Amino acid sequence: MKPLESAFEIAKIIARYQQGIITPPEKTILEEWLNESAENREFFERICNKGRIENGVARYSRIDTEKEYQQFIRKYRSRNSLSNYRRLLKYAALLILPLAIAATLLFTNFKREIPLIPPGFSRATLILADGRSIELKQDSAYVINESEGSLLTNANGLITYSKTEESARAKKNLYNRIFVPRNGEYQLLLEDGTKVWINSETEIEYPVSFNEKVRSVRLRGEAYFEVARNPDKPFIVELDDAKIEVLGTSFNVRAYKDDISLTTTLVEGEVSFSSGTGNGNLLLAPGEQFELDKATGTVTKRSVDVSLYTAWKDGRFAFRNQRLEDIFNTLSRWYNVQVVYQSEDIKEKRFTGDLKRYDDFSKILEIMGSSDLIKFDFRDDKVFVK
Domains in the chain: ranges and CATH: 3-111 (no CATH), 121-309 (2.60.120.1440), 315-385 (3.55.50.30)
Residue 377 identity (one-letter amino acid): D
149 pLDDT more than 60: no
Residue 92 to residues 8, 45, 69, 366, 385: CA-CA distances in angstroms? Answer: 11, 21, 11, 33, 38
Q: How many other C-beta atoms can be found within 10 angstroms of the C-beta atom of residue 367?
A: 15
Tell me the pLDDT tens digit for each residue of 316-337: 999 999 999 999 999 999 999 9
pLDDT given at position 336:
94
Residue 338 to residues 130, 315, 356: CA-CA distances in angstroms? Answer: 35, 22, 20
Residue 222 identity (one-letter amino acid): E
Tell me the pLDDT tens digit for each residue of 338-364: 999 989 999 999 999 999 999 999 889
The separation between the first and the last C-alpha atoms of the chain, rounded to the nearest angstrom, is 40
Strands 158-162, 151-155: parallel, antiparallel or unpaired by DSSP?
A: antiparallel
Strands 151-155, 142-145: parallel, antiparallel or unpaired by DSSP?
A: antiparallel
**Per-position DSSP letters for 132-146, written without gaps between them:** -EEEEETT--EEEE-
Burial of 275 (0-12, 13-18, 19+ CB in 10 A): buried
pLDDT given at position 67:
57
The kind and range of the H/E element at 339 are strand 338-341
Tell me the pLDDT tens digit for each residue of 82-97: 455 555 544 554 455 5
| CA angle, residues 79, 83, 84, in degrees to nearest 5 | 50
CA distance 43 to 100: 14
pLDDT given at position 289:
96
Give 238's contacts (C-beta < 8 A, 6+ positions apart).
216, 217, 218, 219
Give 321's contacts (C-beta < 8 A, 6+ positions apart).
350, 351, 352
At 224, is the pLDDT very low, low, confident or very high (cuts 50, 70, 90)?
very high
Let me know: does 271 contact 244? Beta carbons within 8 Å: yes
Cα dihedral across residues 103, 105, 110, 111: positive or negative = positive
369 pLDDT more than 60: yes
Give 296's contacts (C-beta < 8 A, 6+ positions apart).
none
Cα dihedral across residues 229, 232, 238, 241: positive or negative = positive
At 293, is the pLDDT very low, low, confident or very high (cuts 50, 70, 90)?
very high
Residue 22 identity (one-letter amino acid): I
Q: Would you call 322 helix, strand, or coil by DSSP?
A: strand
Angle between helices 82-111 and 38-47 (to 10 degrees): 30
110 pLDDT more than 60: no
pLDDT given at position 102:
53
Q: How many other C-beta atoms can be found within 10 angstroms of the C-beta atom of residue 187?
A: 20
At 7, is the pLDDT very low, low, confident or very high (cuts 50, 70, 90)?
low
Residue 38 to residues 28, 53, 361: CA-CA distances in angstroms? Answer: 17, 20, 45
Tell me the pLDDT tens digit for each residue of 190-214: 999 999 999 999 999 999 888 888 9
Among the ranges given (163-177, 216-230, 354-368), the one the predictor scored with the smallest mean pLDDT: 163-177
Mean pLDDT of the chain: 81
Cα radius of gyration rounded to whole Å, the chain: 30
At 20, is the pLDDT very low, low, confident or very high (cuts 50, 70, 90)?
confident
pLDDT given at position 60:
44
Q: How many other C-beta atoms can be found within 10 angstroms of the C-beta atom of residue 70?
A: 11
pLDDT given at position 194:
96
Let me know: does 246 contact 269? Beta carbons within 8 Å: yes
144 pLDDT more than 70: yes
pLDDT given at position 57:
46
Tell me the pLDDT tens digit for each residue of 259-280: 989 999 999 999 999 887 666 6
Give 148's contacts (C-beta < 8 A, 6+ positions apart).
129, 166, 167, 170, 174, 208
pLDDT given at position 106:
47
Among the ranges given (36-40, 98-102, 125-129, 331-335), the one the predictor scored with the smallest mean pLDDT: 98-102
340 bridge partner residues: 384
Q: What mean pLDDT do residues 27-44 have? A: 81
